[in-house]
């Protein structure tokens, strides 16, 4: 628990630092506080904000943070084709939320932040957080390479 909370604080600090730097001019003019939660709950906007730094905007794993990671970043566009063309929606949801049993052991390293507690910490509206997770998962599904997939 302590580890999780420490980890959550670190992640929020990292997001806050990046957004503070990005919004520095606005800060100086006193217009806006640093943004931790984009106004939009659309999947593509959330993915760009929370995921693209590691996974790349196209989900293939070319984000700018990748050289700092210890583990190989998976190609999110190949998840369906690796499972015989069926997108593993429940597993992806569990991985993204991060508080369901299969998510952690299956991904050993857990270099990826767990988003369930982060969204809960940033917004107490559970319906909006549910929509955020569903929209992110739907967006990852939309990135799937069709190739040999059975659609």
Ranges within 61-100 binding ligand HEC (CB under 6 A)? 65, 69, 71, 73-74, 76, 79, 92, 95-96
| Greatest distance between any 2 Cα atoms in the chain | 53
Ranges within 12-51 binding ligand HEC (CB under 6 A)? 50-51
For the chain, percent helix, then strand, then coil, each to nearest 5?
55, 0, 45
| C-alpha–C-alpha distance, residues 106 and 98, integer Å | 11
DSSP H or E stretch at residue 17: helix 2-22
- Nearest approach, Cβ of residue 104 and ligand HEC (Å): 9
Q: Which of these segments, 19-27, 28-36, 104-112, 143-151, binds ligand HEC (CB under 6 A)?
A: 104-112
Q: Give the one residue of 15, 19, 41, 55 binding ligand HEC; rule: CB under 6 A.
A: 55
The per-residue DSSP string of 22-49 comes to: HTHHHHHTT--PPPSS-S---HHHHHHH
Hey, what are 142's tokens? 């939309």
Q: Give the one residue of 80, 112, 114, 143 binding ligand HEC; rule: CB under 6 A.
A: 112
Residue 110 lies near ligand HEC (rule: CB under 6 A): yes
Q: Which residues bind ligand HEC (CB under 6 A)?
A: 50-51, 53-55, 65, 69, 71, 73-74, 76, 79, 92, 95-96, 107, 109-113, 115, 136, 140
């Amino acid at each position: 628990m302590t580890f999780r909370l420490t980890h959550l604080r670190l992640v929020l600090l990292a997001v806050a630092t990046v957004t503070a730097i990005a919004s520095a001019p606005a800060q100086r003019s006193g217009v806006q506080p640093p943004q931790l939660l984009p106004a939009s709950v659309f999947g593509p906007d959330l993915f760009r904000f929370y995921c693209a730094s590691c996974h790349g905007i196209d989900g293939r794993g070319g984000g700018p943070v990748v050289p700092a990671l210890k583990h190989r970043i998976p190609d999110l566009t190949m998840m369906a084709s690796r499972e015989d063309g069926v997108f593993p929606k429940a597993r992806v949801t569990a991985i993204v939320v991060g508080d369901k049993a299969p998510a952690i052991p299956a991904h050993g390293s857990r270099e990826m932040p767990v988003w369930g507690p982060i969204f809960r910490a940033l917004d107490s509206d559970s319906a909006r957080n549910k929509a955020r997770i569903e929209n992110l998962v739907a967006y990852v599904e939309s990135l799937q390479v069709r190739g040999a997939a059975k659609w």
